[in-house]
């Protein structure tokens, strides 16, 4: 992966994140903090984790060191306390991740990244892990939406996203 490929990949992630935000919105408020599957996180905890790990890995690849602290997810979720606050948190994490990705070039993609998981890897591997983590947890949230009786958004319904998360040509057209 080089910087040009990263930018193309990140544009695709931007569109997927728009669907993810719509998915978070589809889950009913009263189901956000329940545990529909024993031994798994609530929808709110899962959203905080998913958004946070995306931000943390993007920032870590940019800096050469991932400093994610997943043990704080439950406390962050508790402090947020509502569906709207969790979605706002997800939007902030996206903005922070995007700002970090904008600083990543070929040097960061090929550099070794330290992690809190007792491993190191090149930055481009970190970006692949970021995608895997996101897709994995987004899938869990699709199941949660259905368990809560909600209809999740179409997985590839990028054109239905908020303008800033639509495909580039549609975003330009929508913004004039």
pLDDT of residue 168: 87
Span 68-97, mean pLDDT?
Answer: 93
User: Contact at 8 Å (CB) between 127 and 13?
Assistant: no
pTM of the full predicted structure? 0.92
Helix (H, G, I), strand (E, B) or coil at 151: coil
Retrieve residue 36's tokens: 């529909």
Confidence of residue 170 (pLDDT cuts 50, 70, 90): low
Span 151-171, mean pLDDT?
Answer: 90
User: Contact at 8 Å (CB) between 133 and 50?
Assistant: yes
In this structure, which CATH number among 3.30.160.250, 1.10.110.30, 1.10.3720.10, 1.20.120.450 belongs to the domain 3-174? Answer: 1.20.120.450
Which residue in the block uniquely carries the two structure tokens 């970021």? 130
Span 74-91, mean pLDDT?
Answer: 94
**Dist. CA 96–CA 99, nearest whole Å:** 5
pLDDT of residue 174: 56
pLDDT of residue 173: 53
Task: Compute CA distances 175 → 160, 162, 168, whole Å.
Answer: 14, 11, 11
**Dist. CA 61–CA 109, nearest whole Å:** 7
pLDDT digits (tens, 9 = 90+) for 43-64: 999 999 999 999 999 999 999 9
Burial of 138: CB neighbours in 10 Å, binned 0-12, 13-18, 19+: buried
User: Contact at 8 Å (CB) between 15 and 161?
Assistant: yes
How many other C-beta atoms are found inside a 10 Å radius of the C-beta of residue 167? 16
Span 127-156, mean pLDDT?
Answer: 95
* pLDDT above 90 for 71: no
pLDDT of residue 175: 54
For the residues of 27-79, what is the DSSP string, one character each?
S-GGGTTS-SSTTS--HHHHHHHHHHHHHHHHHHHHHTB----GGGHHHHHHH
């Amino acid at each position: 992966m080089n910087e040009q490929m990263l930018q193309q990949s990140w544009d695709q992630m931007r569109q997927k994140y728009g669907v993810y935000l719509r998915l978070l919105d589809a889950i009913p408020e009263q189901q956000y903090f329940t545990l529909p599957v024993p031994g798994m996180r609530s929808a709110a905890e899962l959203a905080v984790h998913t958004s946070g790990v995306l931000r943390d890995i993007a920032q870590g690849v940019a800096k050469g060191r991932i400093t994610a602290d997943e043990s704080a997810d439950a406390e962050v979720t508790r402090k947020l306390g509502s569906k709207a606050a969790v979605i706002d948190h997800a939007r902030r994490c996206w903005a922070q991740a995007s700002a970090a990705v904008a600083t990543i070039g070929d040097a960061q993609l090929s550099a070794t990244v330290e992690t809190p998981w007792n491993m190191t890897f090149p930055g481009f591997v970190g970006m692949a892990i970021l995608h895997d983590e996101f897709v994995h947890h987004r899938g869990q949230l699709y199941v949660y939406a259905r368990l809560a009786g909600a209809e999740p958004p179409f997985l590839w319904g990028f054109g239905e996203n908020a303008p800033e998360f639509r495909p580039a040509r549609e975003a330009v057209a929508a913004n004039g």
